[in-house]
Amino acid sequence: MSEENIVDLKRQAQVVNRDCLEELLAEGARKLLQQAIENEVAEYIEGHSGERDCRGHQLVVRNGRLPERDILTGMGPVKVSQPRVNDRRPEAKFTSNILPPYLRRTRSIDALIPALYLRGISTGDFTEALSEILGANAPGLSATNVVRLKEGWQKDFEAWQRRELSAKRYVYWWADAIYFNVRLSEERPCILVIMGSLANGTKELVAVVDGQRESKLSWAALLSDLKRRGLKEAPEVAVGDGALGFWAALHEEFPRTREQRCWVHKTANILDKLPKSLQPQAKSHIHEMYLSPGRAKAIEAYEEFLRLYGAKYPKACECLRKDKDVLFTFYDFPAEHWGHLRTTNPIESTFAGVRHRTRQTKGCGSRLATLSMVFQLVRVAEKHWRRLNGRQQLAQVVAGVKFIDGVDSTSNQKQVA
């Protein structure tokens, strides 16, 4: 027998062994589930055995079995035969906590379907993908499950938009506008997004709404709605692109919040006004500004850039100069937070995955479907957002402690003394 045939036989034996093991596990799971349901019914009947009618008959008794049904689990389909309970008490009915009526899939499977969808599996490929995971005979693999889920997502999104915010205290905000394609609309909807950092350093999604471009009116409506739902405290800093109508709306709704322009957007805008041959050198000069250890060094790099490029490339220098007051705000906050405050990267990196998903679906059918999908995608990504560095410093920021070049000013005074 050749070596290839021996290897082939070994592989077949491994597959057979795996199949046998999976069958054993599925059978064990079925028996455990069946026993748990039997015990639940027995305990329920025993608990009400003292309740009898006028003729002395028990009001709660067993009454045969319900038709056998398949429950789709992570190990494939499991057949279950549930006992029927005849509960003759007025306004009383037995409902199993283990196996509720109409349950056809476990929660892990309900979570698996949107997880696969949100990670790029197209609706048409679901049957094949789930068959590989759960087995060819697993029920409920129709792509219509995804359609039903998307309808549920819209309801979840609408409920989330109405949630109460009175208990929230955001220290930092990141704001941006994202564009998506919609098949049933001629215009590309502009999705206005705000992410926030809580006082414990956790990042979370604050708002996702459908805006009219990036206008002040759209942003003002968003911010006003947040206040209406109970958001009282203004964030200490908001980070965003200079092109947003967000800033004008922010000054009206939360005038105390300080501005920080996104250095990634600013760098791209400046370089766009320079010849390609100069862009690598200019980019290094820009990096010197926002990577300097203190404001004084950053301003020196800023002045040097204007001196080098001001005469020949006035548009690039004007692009930098017009936002000077809001480019270096981060120096007035803890140094551990600078990496978070210099850019809108928390939004940009998240929506890179969102754009991948919308490319797979070739655009959503409607604006509401787009919003719902974006909401679900971001909520999935939200589970993996890391907390802020130096989150213990956030309490000082909230308390109004002044920082100079990233260091608590009171500690500087103590060192001098």
30 falls within a domain: yes
Give 66's contacts (C-beta < 8 A, 6+ positions apart): 81, 82, 83, 84
Find out whether 97 and 40 touch, Cβ atoms under 8 Å.
yes
Distance CA 146, CA 159 (A): 20
Identify the domain containing residue 381 by its residue range.
167-404
- Comparing 124-133, 287-296, 358-367, the range with the smallest average pLDDT is 358-367
Distance CA 295, CA 137 (A): 65
Residue 335 has a pLDDT of: 94
User: What is the number of domains present in the chain?
Assistant: 2
295 falls within a domain: yes
pLDDT reading at 412 higher than 60: no
pTM score of the predicted model: 0.69
Give 18's contacts (C-beta < 8 A, 6+ positions apart): none
Residue 15 has a pLDDT of: 42
Per residue in 306-342, pLDDT (tens digit) is 999 999 999 999 999 999 999 999 999 999 999 999 9
Of the ranges 113-127, 280-294, 379-393, 402-416, the best mean pLDDT one = 280-294
Domain shared by 206 and 333, yes or no: yes
Distance CA 44, CA 96 (A): 10
Give 178's contacts (C-beta < 8 A, 6+ positions apart): 190, 191, 193, 347, 351, 354, 374
Closest CA to 133 of 109, 103, 105, 106: 109
Q: When comparing pLDDT for 141 and 79, which is higher? A: 79
Q: Assign 214 a pLDDT band (cuts: 50, 70, 90).
A: confident
pLDDT reading at 9 higher than 60: no
Supply the DSSP string of 9-73, one letter for each residue.
Answer: HHHHHHHHHHHHHHHHHHHHHHHHHHHHHHHHHHHHHHHTTT-B-TTS-BSEEEEEEPPPEEEEE
Segment 262-266 mean pLDDT:
93
Amino acid at 248: A
Residue 332 has a pLDDT of: 95
- Where among 72, 93, 114 does a domain terminate? 93
- Where among 93, 114, 146 does a domain terminate? 93
Domain shared by 174 and 82, yes or no: no
Residue 3 has a pLDDT of: 58
Per residue in 161-177, pLDDT (tens digit) is 999 999 999 999 999 88
Q: What does the DSSP 8-state code read for residue 260?
A: E
Domain shared by 213 and 345, yes or no: yes
Per residue in 174-212, pLDDT (tens digit) is 998 887 665 545 566 678 899 999 999 999 999 998 877
Distance CA 338, CA 239 (A): 11
The total number of residues shown for the chain amounts to 417
Domain shared by 347 and 244, yes or no: yes
Domain shared by 57 and 198, yes or no: no
- Where among 32, 63, 93 does a domain terminate? 93
